C-alpha cells in the first residue's frame, strides 16, 4: 500500500512546506498551516512571499536556496500572525533535486513551547533561590521573635503604670506583624506542598470576586465575568488559587482612583499555549485573565515586578505578585503581566489543564475547598 504523501506529512510534528522552482507552494502539512495560519486550499499555488510577506525571512531564505541550490537555515525567525498571536520558529530550507522537478522543502519548528519552557525553568530557579534565602531568614527570625513576644507579654502583665502597659502591648502587636510577614515569606520556602483536589475554577473566582466586591475600595468598581463554560474541573489547590486571584484582584482595586474602574475576569481553554506536565506530556491550558482599566504600570516598573518586595504603595509589602506567581508556578503554570500606561493592566494566569477524574458520586460536592485565605498585613 502506498500512503498518500499528505497523510504522512500531516503526521510530522514540524511544519513542512514544499515549493516549486518559482517559489510557489505545492504542498504544506497541518503544522505548517497552523504556524502560518493558512490552509492547503488557500496556500496552494501561491508564491511563498505572499504567504509570509515579501521581506520575510521565510521568503528571502527560500529565494536564496532556489537561486544557489544550497541548503540554508535561519534560527528564531518571527512569524506575525493575525489571529493567534506571533510566534518564533526555526527554519531550514533544502533544495530539491532538479531531476525531481526542482524547488525546495521548508521545515518550520515552532519554538514557542521550548522558549516558554526555558523561561519557566529560569523563573523556577529564581524562585527556588528566593525560597532558600527566605527559609533561612524566616527560621532565624522566628525563634527570637517568640522570645521577644513572651517577654513583652510578661512585661505587660507586670507593668505598674498605664504607659508601660501600653508600650509592652505595642511590642506584642508589632512582633505579631513581623511574624505575619515572615509567614508570608515562608510561602517561598520549599516544602509547602499543594493539596490538589478537583476544582471548579469559576467557583473559586466567584468566591474571590465576592470578597473583592465587599472591599470598601471597590465601591465604584464594576466587575465583569466572562467565563468559558466549557472549562472542566481540574486538579488544583483551590485555596492557593483563591490566594492568587485575590492578590491580583486587590492590586486592580488599589490601582483605581476614587472614580473606580472596570475589573474584567475572563477564562478560556487554550490549545495554543500548551505546557509540559512533570511527566513530559503536553497539556492544554486554561487561561484566567484579570484585567483592569486602571493607570497601568510604567515599563521601568514592569521589569521589577518579579522581584519580591518591589512596591510603589506606601503600605504595600510588594509580595502580592511574587506570592501569586509562586503558587501558579507550583501548579506548573505561568503568570505574566502586560500593562501600558493609560490603558490598564492584564495579568494572565495559565494553568495546565490536568483534568480531575470524573466523579462517580455526584451527590457529594465535587469541589470542596477552604474559603480563600486572607493575607494579613
Ligand atoms: N493592576 C495593577 N495596576 C497597576 N499597578 C500594579 C498592578 N498590579 C501591580 N502593580 C504594581 O506592582 C507593584 C507590586 O505589586 P504587588 O502586589 O507585588 O505588591 P503590592 O501590591 O505593592 O503590595 P502587597 O504585598 O500588599 O500586595 C505594586 O506596588 C504596583 O506598583
Ligand atoms: Mg498587591
Distance 320 CA to ligand 1 centre (A): 7
Which pLDDT value is given to residue 273? 65
Please give all residues whose CB falls under 5 A of ion ligand 2, grouped by chain where several chains appear: 251, 320
Nearest CA to ligand 1 atom 19: 318
For residues 161-191, b (16+ Cβ closer than 10 Å) or e, as one string?
eeeeeeebeebbeebeeebebbebbbbbbee
| CA dist., res. 266 & res. 209, Å (int) | 12
| CA dist., res. 251 & res. 16, Å (int) | 45
Place of cell 504600570: 297
Distance 130 CA to ligand 1 centre (A): 19
| CA dist., res. 238 & res. 342, Å (int) | 33
Are 92 and 104 in contact by the 8 Å Cβ rule? The answer is no
Distance 208 CA to ligand 1 centre (A): 17
Nearest CA to ligand 1 atom 10: 251
Q: Helix, strand or coil for residue 6?
A: helix
Nearest CA to ligand 1 atom 13: 311
Q: Is 318 in the pocket of ligand 1 (CB under 6 A)?
A: yes
| CA dist., res. 188 & res. 323, Å (int) | 8
Q: Is 248 in the pocket of ligand 1 (CB under 6 A)?
A: no
Nearest CA to ligand 1 atom 7: 251
Q: Find, among 118, 120, 121, 113, the residue nearest to 282 by Cα.
A: 113
DSSP secondary structure code for residue 215 in this structure: S
pTM over 0.85: no
Which pLDDT value is given to residue 221? 95
Q: Is 311 in the pocket of ligand 1 (CB under 6 A)?
A: yes
| CA dist., res. 306 & res. 328, Å (int) | 13
Which pLDDT value is given to residue 105? 95
Q: Find, among 115, 58, 116, the residue nearest to 91 by Cα.
A: 58
Q: Is 252 in the pocket of ligand 1 (CB under 6 A)?
A: yes
Helix (H) or strand (E) holding 42: helix 40-43
Cell numbers at residue 111, please? Answer: 519554538
- Burial class from Cβ neighbours inside 10 Å (0-12, 13-18, 19+) for residue 259 reads exposed
Are 108 and 77 in contact by the 8 Å Cβ rule? The answer is no
Q: Is 116 in the pocket of ligand 1 (CB under 6 A)?
A: no
| CA dist., res. 83 & res. 129, Å (int) | 38
Q: Is 345 in the pocket of ligand 1 (CB under 6 A)?
A: yes
What is the residue-wise DSSP string for 341-368? TTTEEEEEEEEE--BPPPPS-TTS-S--
- Per-residue pLDDT of the chain (377 residues), as tens digits, is 778 888 999 988 899 999 999 999 999 999 999 999 999 999 999 999 998 877 788 999 999 999 999 999 999 898 888 887 788 999 999 999 887 778 999 999 998 877 777 777 777 677 667 667 777 777 778 888 889 999 999 999 999 999 999 999 999 998 988 887 787 777 766 556 788 999 999 999 999 999 999 998 998 999 999 999 999 999 999 989 999 999 999 999 999 998 999 999 999 998 766 666 667 777 889 999 999 999 999 999 998 887 778 899 988 888 889 889 989 988 989 999 999 999 999 999 999 987 766 554 444 333 434 444 444 33
| CA dist., res. 83 & res. 205, Å (int) | 27
Distance 317 CA to ligand 2 centre (A): 8
Q: Which residues, 6+ apart, have CB-to-CB distance to 249 below 8 Å?
A: 208, 209, 211, 212, 263, 265, 290
Q: Find, among 298, 295, 306, 303, the residue nearest to 328 by Cα.
A: 306
Q: Find, among 188, 210, 195, the residue nearest to 322 by Cα.
A: 188
Nearest CA to ligand 1 atom 31: 312
Amino acid at each position: 500500500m502506498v500512503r498518500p504523501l499528505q497523510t504522512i506529512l500531516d503526521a510530522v510534528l514540524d511544519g513542512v512546506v514544499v515549493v516549486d522552482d518559482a517559489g510557489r507552494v505545492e504542498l504544506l502539512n497541518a503544522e505548517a498551516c497552523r504556524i502560518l495560519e493558512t490552509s492547503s486550499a488557500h496556500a496552494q499555488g501561491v508564491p511563498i512571499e505572499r504567504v509570509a510577506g515579501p521581506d520575510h525571512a521565510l521568503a528571502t531564505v527560500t529565494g536564496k536556496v532556489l537561486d544557489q541550490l544550497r541548503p540554508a537555515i535561519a534560527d528564531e525567525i518571527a512569524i506575525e500572525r493575525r489571529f493567534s498571536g506571533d510566534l518564533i520558529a526555526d527554519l531550514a530550507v533544502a533544495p530539491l533535486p532538479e531531476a525531481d522537478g526542482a524547488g525546495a522543502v521548508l521545515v518550520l519548528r515552532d519554538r514557542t513551547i521550548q522558549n516558554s519552557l526555558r523561561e519557566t525553568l529560569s523563573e523556577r530557579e529564581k524562585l527556588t533561590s528566593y525560597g532558600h534565602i527566605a527559609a533561612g531568614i524566616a527560621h532565624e527570625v522566628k525563634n527570637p521573635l517568640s522570645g521577644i513576644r513572651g517577654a513583652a507579654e510578661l512585661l505587660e502583665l507586670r507593668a505598674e503604670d498605664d504607659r508601660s502597659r501600653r508600650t509592652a502591648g505595642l511590642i506584642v502587636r508589632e512582633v505579631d506583624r513581623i511574624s505575619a510577614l515572615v509567614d508570608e515569606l515562608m510561602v517561598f520556602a520549599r516544602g509547602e506542598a499543594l493539596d490538589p483536589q478537583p476544582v471548579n475554577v469559576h467557583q473559586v473566582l466567584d468566591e474571590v470576586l465576592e470578597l473583592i466586591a465587599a472591599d470598601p475600595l471597590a465601591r465604584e468598581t464594576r466587575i465583569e465575568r466572562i467565563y468559558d463554560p466549557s472549562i472542566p474541573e481540574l486538579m488544583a489547590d483551590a485555596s492557593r488559587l483563591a490566594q492568587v486571584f485575590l492578590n491580583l484582584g486587590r492590586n486592580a482595586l488599589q490601582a483605581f482612583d476614587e472614580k473606580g474602574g472596570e475589573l474584567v475576569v475572563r477564562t478560556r481553554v487554550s490549545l495554543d499555549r500548551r505546557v509540559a506536565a512533570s511527566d513530559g506530556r503536553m497539556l492544554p491550558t486554561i487561561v484566567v485573565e484579570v484585567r483592569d482599566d486602571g493607570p497601568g504600570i510604567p515599563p521601568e516598573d514592569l521589569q521589577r515586578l518579579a522581584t519580591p518586595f518591589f512596591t510603589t504603595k506606601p503600605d504595600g509589602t510588594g509580595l502580592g505578585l511574587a506570592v501569586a506567581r509562586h503558587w501558579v508556578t507550583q501548579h506548573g503554570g505561568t503568570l505574566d503581566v502586560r500593562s501600558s500606561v493609560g490603558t490598564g493592566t492584564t495579568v494572565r494566569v495559565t494553568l495546565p489543564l490536568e483534568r480531575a477524574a470524573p466523579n462517580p458520586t455526584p451527590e457529594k460536592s465535587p469541589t470542596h475547598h477552604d474559603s480563600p485565605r486572607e493575607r494579613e498585613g
